[in-house]
Amino acid sequence: MFAYVAGSPLVLVQVLGISTTLYGWFFASTAFAIMAGSFLNGRLSVRGVPPSRLLKVGLTLAVVSAIALVLVSISNSVRVITLPPLLVLNTFCFGLIAPNAKHGALQPLPEVAGVAAAVLGFTQMAIGGTLASALVAFFYDGRTATAMTSIMSLFALASFAVYATIVRPAEQRIALASFNRYPDSHKT
């Protein structure tokens, strides 16, 4: 998300040459996409879709859209018609990912949820706001979207990898332990 926030004005205004007014409308559309993702997340959660499934779907879509952004960038196909829709899709994914990732991170720590939420927020700002933004600025060449899209893809892939190798196995161990501890509670 921070790679997008740092890189989008550079790419859309400087590389694609859109007006600052049009950029403002575009940025608003990506903010709306985040809200739409969060709204959909809430509706699906109320209908019983587990947070882990929503997180997995959000991460998968984020990786696919970020890789598509890189492919558009390196193939010199960056146009107003190709880049913004993929950025909207990618920011939509943030609306699915963020609430479920926070839920998963805070659920095991109910007695210190406030402190855990503060640490989580700090970590996101420190890594995203500092590292991702700095990397986009450092690698930006003034002519392409490659720096922004590559950093977005790198962080999306890293997030998916952490989920697949650390978080998901831990969720499965907890579910199995719960099943073994209370086998009758899982019968229908």
Structure tokens at 163: 């989920």
In the chain, how many domains are there?
1
96-112 pLDDT, tens digit per residue, is 999 999 888 888 888 89
pTM of the complete model: 0.86
Rounded to an integer, what distance in angstroms lies between the CA atom of residue 10 and that of residue 1? 15
Residue 72: pLDDT band with limits 50, 70, 90: very high
Instruction: Give yes or no for a contact between 109 and 116, defined as CB atoms under 8 angstroms apart.
Output: yes
> Above 90 in pLDDT, residue 174?
no
Per-chain mean pLDDT for the chain: 91
CATH number of the domain encompassing residue 145: 1.20.1250.20
> Above 70 in pLDDT, residue 188?
no
Domain range holding 158? 2-186
